Chain A
């Protein structure tokens, strides 16, 4: 007796077989529904956005805002604090940089990217000097985890910003004040010199108009006679400006050094880790100065990287693997370029790389040799699965 013959003897078999026939007869036409799930996801997470520069305005001497509109007319929603990764092609090299959206999600007509010129910045120079109103750029959809959550962040927020780290926080400040949300924000904005502060006038006006927003500018290299708050954002300064820290959630965004300085200061004051949010660390400006860097490998050492299908490219020790791949014209999906989002993950078949301690690599990736190519620096010749 075959299995199907045997199964026909099961109590209820005939009834269910009939039910199935009816379900098929009056069944779902999946063909007519094709694509609907992908389209639903695209509304939130488009693979690419096409953006047109609609305005370009200076914020201060070395900072400019690019106002971007969507060429399709649709922008996915974003959470104040998120960034997009902007793709550019410069001198034949396709690369990208993540920039926080500084405009408020209260409107979705445009995304503002506020970009500060980085000394010798390959991409920031290009965006500030070459890109004109009307130009079209591509980007990822909004990404990142540096945003406010009503679930566990409470209503008492303290923002610690350093330099251009104000941009994601600016989006949050604009959202809270524009929408009159019931959240209190106290911003301490650290800069070396007062003229470096971005959005200074607007912040003053918003603080004046909204009782739930307080703005303090802290200047670390003041001119003689400067009357405002001076010094680094340390425990003393925070205590003086904020008072009691209990029940408050801190959002910290700034250069890499700021996290290693400010976060221990907060911990010293007894702020629990769950109340400290930080943006991604970014990658080290000079990776060879990292404490764990193997001294025998010089910054300008060159190695070869062999790809799965035989192609061989060159890679410098002091540049992330991702950059070497981009220089060779090889496209690897990427987003945060800080070692945290994992989109640029590749499998190492042989060889060694240096990964800064801030790279957020999973245990299983460490065990099976996956690295985040944006935060992996070649220390030997490599073979990668790509």
Chain B
């Protein structure tokens, strides 16, 4: 074999997978079609700005004195100390027309207090809800991290009652004011499904994780993280090929035997960890006769998640000058998030849900003095963008960007006048640079049935593993973690094959 393991794609999951393996002495080759590592975790330059592509609020890291699971994962890879982490004080500011303007601190007590001041009639409901979120998450962590063999509904009532319930049902049970329900569930956009469709465990863990471990950014942006992991991989003897995508995965008798690069070179290996989507792997990279029918059937049970319209903007003023005082801002025109979600299927942007991130608030070095870097995201399914007549594309792109900016202007007057650089990314742009089906940014839609509990990323083909958003959830923490998980599984199998005791 040329390599013990070939990792396809140097996105978050591919990088951590490759790095973990190399550090354990496994002969690993990392293939990447682009010329730098990172996938989404990257940046690009326009004029005097270097735009962060994908990282908004890193979850799961936690302060050094109170490390979260992601800090452990990254520590093992040896990249935590060389990066400069930026802790954010606040979760977000939520603006709903003239009805609500609330900023929640990344602190349980402070967040509760702020909510209680704004919604005094539901003072007790608020306390009760946060109690539930905490109890639920602690139960979940206890069950899975300590692998309690006696986990029962009697012992862990919150987990067994609520894990698979949709978030909206829980919100309706605890609260009456729709504004309050929105104020505690606005993070839904980070997983892609509105509260009515999102399992409570996803919502609870998001909120709990950000409250307990704080949201983070890092100096140099997400590319600094990707670069650091790649560096460790190389130092550990790993090999990388850039500008070298994988075009085929070779399978014989139900077992991986190699990979063919886009340049036609065949590389033999017994293990592949694919950071590329399961859809691409099973429908394009493996010859149809080697793909078990059962595998395609499983694949067909999940739907492709949202892509987005993302506006990368450099302003020639300080953020405060136009009223941006928080890193993370959610703008909503109503409290009906099911409506907002339906709008994700339309090409034009009438979404009632927009994320405006301005990194300068927590990291003034992110752009030159006197300027600000803003990233605006509207979730959009890619499907609608596939059949636009090409000659109308540019006009449409600017029209949609204009619609989003009109809404932003309402909350931050003067915004548009200060635009120095703007790059508009559509689902087509995401398809181009991420290479994902539908330009999806989080992998599959994350309904309860798509949870690893029901849909484990296990492949029927031996030697084939997955890392990244398509192997579980999207977002930085899940994808970074998925790589080390896949590496662990591969290592286990290598040892088993070698007859070594584990």
State the Cβ distance, A369 to closest chain B Cβ, in Å. Answer: 9
CB contact under 8 A between A27 and B300, given known A9-B160, A40-B431, A77-B393: yes
Per the bound structure, the CA–CA distance linking A19 and B449 in Å amounts to 7
B284 contacts partner chain A, Cβ-Cβ < 8 Å:
yes
CB contact under 8 A between A41 and B402, given known A12-B164, A274-B418: no
Q: Within 8 Å CB of A40, what residues of B? A: 385-386, 428, 431
Cross-chain contact of B454 among A17, A342, A343 (Cβ < 8 A): A17
Per the bound structure, the CA–CA distance linking A41 and B385 in Å amounts to 10
Cross-chain contact of A77 among B36, B44, B394 (Cβ < 8 A): B394
Q: Is B448 a contact of A12 with CB atoms below 8 Å?
A: yes
CB contact under 8 A between A34 and B431, given known A149-B398, A342-B35, A364-B221: no
B interface residues, how many (CB within 8 angstroms): 78
State the Cβ distance, A27 to closest chain B Cβ, in Å. Answer: 3
CB contact under 8 A between A76 and B36, given known A24-B297, A151-B419, A152-B419: no
Q: Is B43 a contact of A362 with CB atoms below 8 Å?
A: yes
Contact bitstring A20-57, B, C-beta under 8 A = 1, else 0: 10011001111101111110110111000000000000
Cross-chain contact of A385 among B151, B220, B242 (Cβ < 8 A): B242
Cross-chain contact of A10 among B163, B227, B301, B393 (Cβ < 8 A): B163
Per the bound structure, the CA–CA distance linking A23 and B220 in Å amounts to 42
Q: Is A273 a contact of B428 with CB atoms below 8 Å?
A: no
Contact bitstring A43-86, B, C-beta under 8 A = 1, else 0: 11100000000000000000000000000000011010000000
Contact bitstring B388-418, A, C-beta under 8 A = 1, else 0: 0011011000100110010000000000101
CB contact under 8 A between A9 and B152, given known A44-B393, A77-B390, A151-B401: yes
Q: Within 8 Å CB of B297, what residues of A? A: 24, 27
Per the bound structure, the CA–CA distance linking A77 and B150 in Å amounts to 62
Q: Is A345 a contact of B35 with CB atoms below 8 Å?
A: yes
Q: Is A31 a contact of B162 with CB atoms below 8 Å?
A: no
Q: Is A363 a contact of B220 with CB atoms below 8 Å?
A: yes
Q: Is B284 a contact of A108 with CB atoms below 8 Å?
A: no
B46 contacts partner chain A, Cβ-Cβ < 8 Å:
yes
B9 contacts partner chain A, Cβ-Cβ < 8 Å:
no
Per the bound structure, the CA–CA distance linking A1 and B143 in Å amounts to 12
A interface residues, how many (CB within 8 angstroms): 63
Q: Is A1 a contact of B296 with CB atoms below 8 Å?
A: no
B499 contacts partner chain A, Cβ-Cβ < 8 Å:
no
Per the bound structure, the CA–CA distance linking A224 and B43 in Å amounts to 53
Cross-chain contact of A364 among B223, B382, B424 (Cβ < 8 A): B223
CB contact under 8 A between A28 and B36, given known A274-B420, A364-B43: no
State the Cβ distance, B316 to closest chain A Cβ, in Å. Answer: 5
The stretch of B73-81, B432-440, B486-494 in contact with A is: B432-440
Q: Is B36 a contact of A1 with CB atoms below 8 Å?
A: no
Q: Is A151 a contact of B422 with CB atoms below 8 Å?
A: yes
Q: Is A30 a contact of B279 with CB atoms below 8 Å?
A: yes
Q: Is A273 a contact of B316 with CB atoms below 8 Å?
A: yes
Cross-chain contact of A20 among B160, B421, B449 (Cβ < 8 A): B449
Which residues 115-167 in B have Cβ within 8 Å of A in the complex? 143, 147, 149-153, 159-165
Per the bound structure, the CA–CA distance linking A30 and B454 in Å amounts to 20
Per the bound structure, the CA–CA distance linking A363 and B43 in Å amounts to 10
Per the bound structure, the CA–CA distance linking A31 and B288 in Å amounts to 9
Q: What are 27 inter-chain pairs, A to B, with CB distance below 8 A? A: A1-B150, A12-B448, A17-B454, A20-B455, A23-B301, A23-B302, A28-B299, A28-B300, A29-B296, A30-B282, A35-B284, A37-B386, A40-B385, A43-B390, A77-B390, A145-B46, A145-B423, A152-B419, A333-B243, A345-B35, A360-B45, A361-B45, A362-B44, A364-B221, A368-B230, A370-B35, A386-B242
Closest 10 CB pairs of A and B: A27-B300, A24-B301, A274-B420, A34-B283, A20-B449, A23-B301, A364-B223, A152-B419, A12-B164, A368-B227
**A-contacting residues of B (Cβ < 8 Å)?**
35-36, 43-48, 50, 143, 147, 149-153, 159-165, 220-221, 223-224, 227, 230-231, 240, 242-243, 279, 282-284, 288, 296-303, 316, 382, 385-386, 390-391, 393-394, 398, 401-402, 405, 416, 418-424, 428, 431-432, 436-439, 448-449, 453-455
